[in-house]
Each structure stands twice: as structure tokens, then as C-alpha cells.
Amino acid sequence: MTRTATRPLPLREALQGVAPYLQGVRGRWVLGLLSAMAAGLVALAIPQVVQVLVNTVFAEAAPGTAGTADPAAGVWWAAGALALLGLAEALFIWLRRFFILPPAADVENRARISIYRRLQRLPVAFHDAWASGQLLSRAQGDLALLRRWIAFGSVMLVVESVTIVVGLVLLFVMSWQLALLYLVAAVPIMIRSFRFRTDFRAASRLSQDQAGDLATTVEESVHGIRVLKAFGRGPDALDGFRGEAETLQGTEVHKASVLAKFISLTVSLPELVLGVALGLGLYLVAVGDLTVGALAAYFATTAVLARPVEGVGQLMGMTLSAKTAIDRHLEVMRVPVAVASPAGTDAAEEEATSRAVASSAAEDSPVVTDGLPPSSGRLAFRDVVFRYPDAPEDSRPLLAGVDLELTPGETMALVGVTGSGKSTLVQLVPRLLDVTAGVVEVDGTDVRAYPLDELRRRVSIAFEDATLFSDTVRANVLLGAPAEVTADGLDSPRAQALLDLALDTAQAGFARDLPVGVDTEIGEEGLSLSGGQRQRIALARAIAARPDVLVLDDPLSALDVRTEEAVTGRLREVLAGTTTLIVAHRPSTVALADRVAVLQDGAIHDVGTHAELLARSAAYREIITTGAAEDRSLAGLADAAHDDAALAAATDAARPPAGAARPPAGRTAGREETR
């Protein structure tokens, strides 16, 4: 669905918004503008030479004229001057391109990097609310429009306007009557241009938004291609896509027709006027009020003016589209970074530079100024309340007073019926979401008081929906590894040791059997892995971060019971000192925890060991019975087909012959790991 467009920003505000991208490029832009201006003025000088040329020829040809000593010389001089002016015009056009194209590309690049950085900083709630295609079109198409406008539209709009003004002055110098006639054509054009601006701006905004929606549809259907195929919904998806594409086509056609109507006016009116001007001009020559040279120069000047006059509509259209692109860009750039580092930290200062608006939550929170608390792994939720921003105002908060404390090194399972808010609760720990009220504490300090990078160094998270990037297993696993371990490269002995430990703990040793071992490309553009294998790589990634607090949001759900037992067993061994909060559905996971917390009706209903809760909590027994049924069916499945065996067969088939080149490494990661 098309996002509701916000009110167009006033021009000054929009220009201020993109001013940071223009720093350092203004000088070249001005030089380019001057070159373009010079080219325009040289073009206007050409008719003046024509006037001299024609008058010279007519003077020589007139009966009874004494003539100059060498009549041909004047013609040759004028012709030579014309050629030189032509060359000068070409040179100035080249200089315009030379000066302006690189800075325009620079602006595009800066804006693109800024929006990408912004997208990384914006909270998960923002990404939940915005369609990916809208963000894609803002980071791609809109910025290409901006580049074209800076490189061409903005310059030519100034140059063509100046050319028109200077050209009109010259026309008045040649003949005020003819100039006035030409000017008459401009009045209806100016009146029409006001209506044109409103219509074209609306059409332009609609088409850019619809292009974003179309990108979202393509992205979704590519991601969901298996579901579409499995349910035979390809033709329906195509119909939906065709509908959206036709809507966009309709908008584009409407946009083009608005522009075409305006352009036809700007082209036809001056042409009509020129017909009348020819008659009037000949009359003025006949009565001796105008020289033939001046009449020729008048038409040569109007020919030079034709391009700017005709182009002004196009340039206005381009300017309006660029303005829409800036509005759309700033819409994203001005979304408050609700989850921000506290004031006073480097990250917060960077945030202030990019004009971010920190949330009141971040501003109100205490700031760690006297050093950070020592790492211990203590985790506590104190009267935590959370409500999603888009939840109805009068609804009960999803979390309505959660109190829970984990001691350092403890493994606690969090259980609750589906939709009770488990995933939401655990996302509050690394601040993927921020509490509405109450406090989440790590090592006795409010998580909002930590610089984000420090908090996320202490807390690591793995999700049920394991997102892997288009990169090697090695790069995926060591993504969040401590900087000191990877300082000498991802294949240094220390990094290798951590990689091995993480893979072994997560029971992800299968990665070594992939075609190029741990250097095999996986993810969207690499080798496809099974759900369980993906989860284990994602778990290895969380382990390799060596956190004090490990949050696991049901990351073992796709594993068979035996593999899950092996993983949790090793996890307890390797991460003996790490506090672990694990969202669990199955008794097999719960049984391995020191204690279990039951989340019900937005609060912690009970906490105890598995055995204690079984004995005293009916709610717990009900939750666990459902999980047990799942366990039994998974155990059966596990006996029937084991992931790794299936993979071994698949990779044997996919293994390249000895000496074959491995796929290119280091393709950029495309998406944040969010639920």
C-alpha cells in the first residue's frame, strides 16, 4: 500500500535538509554553472555576429554604395568569429560537465550512505512499519533523480532563465515592437505554469510512491517464491503485480500528459508569435525602422531562445521530481532514532550531527559518566511495561509490569502461550525495543544508560528466524566477535579458534563439510541451508560474540530433539559464566534450564525449576504439554531424516571439482537480523 505522503516541505527547509551533502561540492557546482552560463551567453552572441554579417553583405550589395576596400574581408572576419564562438560554446559545455558531474555523483553517494546509516540506526519498530521497497526506492531511484537534477536540472534552470532574460533584453535592443510581441507569448505560459506545478508535483509524488510499492511487491514475491510455487499462487501474484504495474503506468502516463500539455503550450505559443513577428518585421524593414541585419538577428536570437523556452517545462518537471525525492529522503532521515545512545556519548554526538531526534526515553535515562559497571552478567527486569506504538490507545499493554531477575551465569527459560510477549520481552534487553515504563538492567545499570555498542557487546541475541548474510560461514559466525579477536583478520589463529568453539558449541560442525568448508558462501546468494542448519549458524554467531548475557529467542525450534539436547548441553559447558535467557516451547529445552519463568497476561506468573512448576502451576503444565506433543513429533521426524545426513548428500552433489574457483567472497550484507 502506498504510504501516506507527508506535506511537501517548504523549499528552504528541503534545501537545508540536503545542505550537509553539498559541503565541498558547491565550488565545483558554481564553476560548472559559470561555464554553462558562458556557453549560453556565447550562444546569444552568435546572432549579434550574424547581424553584423548580414548588414555588411546588404551594405555592399546596395546599389550606389561605395563599399569597403575589401568587401570579402568583413564576411571572412564575421565567419571566422562565428566559428570561434561555436568552438567556445562547445568548450564551455564540456567544462560544465567536467565541473559538475563528479560532485553530483558525490552528493548522491553521500546521501545514499547517510540513508543507509540511518536505516541501521532506526529502531526495529520503524522497519516493522515501513515496506522494504519504499526504503529501496528512496535509497536508489530518488537519489539518482537528485543527482540528475544537481548535474543538469539545477544548472540549466538557472542558465536557461538567465538566457531568456538576456535574450529578451537583446530582442528589445533590436526592436521593442517585435520584443513586446514575443513577450506576449510568455504571459499565458506563466499563468499556466502555476497550475502545472501543483498537478505535476502531485503526480510525481504518487508515481515515486507507487514505484516504491512495486519494489516491495517484487521483493516479497522473490522472498516468498517457495510459498507462491507450493500453493500455486504464481498467477495470482502476477495478477497482483500486473495491477500495481498498470496503476504505476497510469500515473506515469498522467504525469507525462500533464508535462506534455505544458510543453505544448511553451513550444506552440512562441512559434505562433514568430509567424506574426515575420510580417511585422518585414513591415518595419520596409518603412526603414529596422535593418535587415537586425531582423535576421531577431530570428537568430529567437532560435537560440527556443531551446530554453521549450526546455523550461521539462526543467520545472525535473525540479519538482527532485524536490519530491528530497522530501521522501528527508521523511526517512527525520524519523526520530527512538533507540539512541545516551547524551554525552560519542554515538549520541554523531546522532546529533545527523540531526536525529533522540527519544524522551533516551533523554530521560541516567547516563553512565563515571565508567561502565564491571561485567558480571546480572540481568533484571523491574516493573517493565511495554506497548507497541501502533497498539490501540485504550488496549492493555502487552507487558504490564514484568519483574524478573537472573543471577550471573544462570540459565533461565522463558515460557508462555503463543503471543504472550516472550519475543517482545527479550528484545528489550539489547534495546531492539525500548520499554514504555520500568527498567531493564544489565549488570545493575539501566540498559538505556549504556552506549549502544557497549550494551550490544555485553548482550548477544539469536532469533528463531535465522537471518544469514550473503557471505562465508566464517564471516557470518564472526560477525559480532570481539574486535580484539578479529583484529588480525577473520582467519587469524585467534579468530579461527573462536570460530571452531562457536561452531562446535552450536553443533554446526557440518559447515566444515560444505564445498569450501567454512569459507563457503551461504545466505541469499550462496548455498542454501536447511532451517536447522541456518539456526545453528546463527546460534554460533551469538556464541562467538562472547557475551555476558546471551538471549536466545527460540533459536533451536527447527532442530530435532537430540541435536537440541547436544546444543544446550554444550552451551551450558562452554558458556558456564554466561547468563542465558532462552525463550522455550519444548520440555527438552526447559529441562536444561536452572529455572523457568512463566509469562502470562503481561506479567511473570511464576518462577521455579521445571519440577517445581510442574507440581504447582496449571498454566505451566498446559504450556509444557503442548510443547511435549511437539517434541514427540519432532523426535519422530528426527529419526526419519537427519539434517546433516541430508546435507552431506546435497553438498557432495554441489561440491565443485578440485581446483575450481570458489564463489566471490565479501558480498555486502543486505538485511538486519530482526524478527
Ligand X SMILES: Nc1ncnc2c1ncn2[C@@H]1O[C@H](COP(=O)(O)OP(=O)(O)OP(=O)(O)O)[C@@H](O)[C@H]1O
- Closer CB to ligand X, 299 or 388, in the complex: 388
CB of 586 to ligand X, least distance (A): 12
CB of 422 to ligand X, least distance (A): 4
Q: Which of 171, 398, 459, 597 binds ligand X (CB under 6 A)?
A: 398
For strand 471-472 and strand 459-463, is the pairing parallel, antiparallel, or unpaired? unpaired
- Closer CB to ligand X, 422 or 546, in the complex: 422
- Closer CB to ligand X, 428 or 459, in the complex: 428
Stretch that binds ligand X, among 99-107, 135-143, 318-326, 420-428 (CB under 6 A): 420-428
Distance of CA 573 to the CA centre of its chain: 42
CB of 398 to ligand X, least distance (A): 5
Query: What is the number of other CB atoms lying within 10 angstroms of the CB of residue 99?
Result: 23
Q: Which three cell numbers stand for residue 276?
A: 506574426
Evaluate the CA torsion angle 503, 507, 509, 515 in order and state its sign: negative
For strand 459-463 and strand 549-553, is the pairing parallel, antiparallel, or unpaired? parallel
Q: Which of 388, 403, 441, 572 binds ligand X (CB under 6 A)?
A: 388
CB of 423 to ligand X, least distance (A): 3
**Exposure of 658 by Cβ count < 10 A (0-12 exposed, 13-18 middle, 19+ buried)?**
exposed
Q: Which of 134, 251, 411, 420 binds ligand X (CB under 6 A)?
A: 420
Q: Which three cell numbers stand for residue 545?
A: 560474540
Query: By CB under 6 A, is residue 353 in contact with ligand X?
Result: no
- Closer CB to ligand X, 420 or 467, in the complex: 420
The SS3 of residue 402 is: strand
Q: How big is the site for ligand X, counted in residues (CB under 6 A)?
A: 12
d(CA 401, CA 386): 8
Query: By CB under 6 A, is residue 416 in contact with ligand X?
Result: yes
Ranges of beta strands (E only) in 465-585 are 471-472, 521-522, 549-553, 579-583
Stretch that binds ligand X, among 6-14, 288-296, 377-385, 421-429 (CB under 6 A): 421-429
d(CA 425, CA 443): 18
Query: By CB under 6 A, is residue 421 in contact with ligand X?
Result: yes
- HSE-up (13 A, CA, CB side) for residue 106: 15
Stretch that binds ligand X, among 262-270, 299-307, 411-419, 530-538 (CB under 6 A): 411-419
Q: Which of 112, 328, 422, 536 binds ligand X (CB under 6 A)?
A: 422
CB of 392 to ligand X, least distance (A): 11
Query: By CB under 6 A, is residue 458 in contact with ligand X?
Result: no
Is the separation of the CB atoms in 581 and 426 below 8 Å? yes
**DSSP letter at 527?**
B
Which residues 6+ apart lie within 8 Å of 346 measured at CB?
451
d(CA 253, CA 240): 20
d(CA 425, CA 264): 61
**DSSP letter at 389?**
T
- Closer CB to ligand X, 221 or 600, in the complex: 600
Stretch that binds ligand X, among 353-361, 415-423, 450-458, 621-629 (CB under 6 A): 415-423
Q: Which of 70, 370, 390, 573 binds ligand X (CB under 6 A)?
A: 390
Query: DSSP string spanning 414-454?
Result: EE-STTSSHHHHHHTTTTSS--SEEEEEETTEEGGGS-HHH
Query: By CB under 6 A, is residue 378 in contact with ligand X?
Result: no
CB of 489 to ligand X, least distance (A): 38
- Closer CB to ligand X, 128 or 271, in the complex: 128
Fill in the amino acid letter for 86.
G
- Closer CB to ligand X, 129 or 635, in the complex: 129
Query: By CB under 6 A, is residue 395 in contact with ligand X?
Result: no
Residues 127-156 that bind ligand X (CB under 6 A): 128
Q: Which of 35, 423, 533, 617 binds ligand X (CB under 6 A)?
A: 423
The SS3 of residue 319 is: helix
d(CA 511, CA 521): 11
CB of 414 to ligand X, least distance (A): 9
Q: Which residues bind ligand X (CB under 6 A)?
A: 128, 388, 390, 398, 416, 418-424
